[in-house]
Amino acid sequence: MSDQIFQAMRQSIIDGTPDKATELAREAVAIGLDPLEAVNLGFAAGIKFAGDQFGCGEMFLPDLLASAEAMKAAIKILEPEMLKRGSERETLGKIVLGTARGDIHDIGKNLVATILSASGFQIFDLGTSVTPEQFVAKAREVDADIVGISALLTTTMAGQKAVIDALDRSGLRPRVKAIIGGAAVTSKWAAEIGADGFSRNAIDALELARNLMGKGPASA
């Protein structure tokens, strides 16, 4: 039964059908399915497939945007339950998130924020096109453990380096870890700019954050 609903969730995102995604999200809540599993194994798998298809030219921008809208619809239903369950867990650490200066894409970042929050991290989301100074100020204000910088475009990836450089100059590192993510981000780029890690998707981001906090793999 679970496998069938996960597949249906994945397909609703690929098809870009918000009504269907909403219906499936409500069904998941009604039957007591773990909302984090619904996101990880169902909806997020669909948005990852859509992103991969877009990246190789098999899906066009309007289709990707439709998939994003379906994802948002599902998250809107599941998020209250995810956050409720997350609040019942121990706080694993404080994470400041944002997209690099000049980048206004936030689908991936928002998914990362939701999953990290639902898994027990305290999230401070600065939004899009965030300056290095804003990252540093927030990290200092909340005594952050991790700063996460997203960049979808190759033209804005330099902003990730600028944030890490600013964290270094501020003296917050190495206590504050810096992680990066985005469609074009690679391990080579992460190493080149001195990041403490990178993730390709929200699930990887959760594992990375847990490992950096010394919490080990996320439990199923």
pLDDT tens digits, one per residue of 15-46: 999 999 999 999 999 999 988 889 888 988 88
Task: Give the Cα separation of 131 and 139 in Å (integer).
Answer: 13
Residue type present at position 44: A
pLDDT at 219: 40
pLDDT in tens, 122-166: 899 999 999 999 999 999 999 999 999 999 888 899 999 999 999
CATH value at residue 181: 3.40.50.280
Answer whether residue 216 shows pLDDT above 60: no
194 & 105 share domain:
yes
Q: Which of 19, 52, 87 is the last residue of a domain?
A: 87
Give me the number of domains the chain comprises. Answer: 2
220 domain residue, yes or no: no
Residue 88: predicted pLDDT: 56
- Determine the distance from the C-alpha atom of residue 36 to the mean position of all C-alpha atoms in its chain, rounded to a whole number: 13
Q: Which of 50, 65, 87 is the last residue of a domain?
A: 87
Q: What is the pLDDT of residues 71-94, one digit of tens each?
A: 889 988 988 887 777 655 567 899
Q: Is residue 194 part of a domain?
A: yes
Residues 116 and 162 both lie in one domain: yes
Are 64 and 11 in the same domain?
yes
Q: What is the pLDDT of residue 71?
A: 86
Give per-residue pLDDT as tens, 48-79: 788 778 778 898 878 888 888 898 899 889 88
So what's the pLDDT on residue 65?
Answer: 80
Choice between 45 and 99, residue whose per-residue pLDDT is larger? 99
The reply to whether 218 falls in a domain is: no
Whether the predicted pLDDT of 4 surpasses 90:
yes
Kindly state whether residues 112 and 82 are assigned to the same domain: no
**Radius of gyration for the alpha carbons in the chain, expressed in angstroms and rounded:** 17
Which residues constitute the domain of residue 22?
2-87
Give the residue-averaged pLDDT of 93-113.
90
Question: How sure is the predictor about 108, in pLDDT bands with cuts at 50, 70 and 90?
Answer: confident
Asked if the structure places residue 154 within a domain, the reply is yes
Q: Are residues 24 and 71 in the same domain?
A: yes
Look at residue 217 and tell me whether its pLDDT is greater than 60: no
- Residue 135 and residue 163 share a domain: yes
pLDDT band per the 50, 70, 90 thresholds, residue 193: very high
Report d(CA 12, CA 8) in Å as an integer: 6
